Amino acid sequence: MLVNKTKPTLSESIRDGLVELIVSGQLKAGERLIETKIAADFGTSQAPVREALRELEGLGLVESRPRRGRHVLPFVEQTIREAYVVRAALEETATRLAMLNNRLPLDAMRDDVADMHRCAAAGDLRAMGLASARFHRRVVVASDNFLLQRAWEGLQIESRTAITLVLTNPSLEHVAAEHAELLDVLAAGDVEAACLHTRAHQWAYADLPHDMHGAAREVRFPG
């Protein structure tokens, strides 16, 4: 079942706040994360902090050590790139399945794109990431393939999208326009063109030194 998120839970807000601190370097590699202190900083109980930290462990940003607590791991941008390559393959397959079965929820996806334009106008980075994830999740759900959807969700799309937006600091209007262009291709009904565009859309965010055809390109991630 597809659920549209409009307001982040406490654990999501804490997770996103910690992601920004880690990616920006305000939380250093090796620094210990103390649940009580984080809870006090965010004005909440320890339960949502614990949930957020577990998710950050899954993203490879935090490590739990027996009898030593949780510590910040060195941020490795390569893991973000690799996730987008895997995501591209999953979403290309989802697009093919959804289109062959005529299941794409195009009207709902148009609403998502309109929401992205509103996010861009408001400069709301977090809401943009959620709207983007929602747009792509609709295609994955429309594939009607449980294992594909489970693999896609396992990539922790919303969290990785948030990290990518913090890293690249793109024009939010450009992000909205990219999704509008992808939607136009999907709505046109050419399955092969739609699959190619879907794959290219994610490979661009993979930020590799070459595109999916092997042509050289400029890497945008810093460092």
Close Cβ partners of 150 (under 8 Å, ≥ 6 residues apart):
none
Give how far Cα 114 sits from Cα of 40, 109, 135, 171, 222, Å: 37, 9, 11, 16, 30
Give how far Cα 52 sits from Cα of 30, 118, 171, Å: 18, 28, 28
User: What is the full per-residue pLDDT of the chain (223 aa) written as tens digits?
Assistant: 333 444 668 888 898 888 888 877 889 989 999 999 999 999 999 999 999 999 899 888 899 988 889 999 887 677 788 889 999 999 999 999 999 999 999 999 999 999 999 999 999 988 999 999 999 999 999 999 999 999 999 888 888 887 888 777 889 999 999 999 999 999 999 999 999 999 999 988 776 545 555 554 554 544 3
Asked whether 62 and 72 are in contact (CB, 8 A), the reply is yes
- CA–centroid distance for 19 within its chain: 12
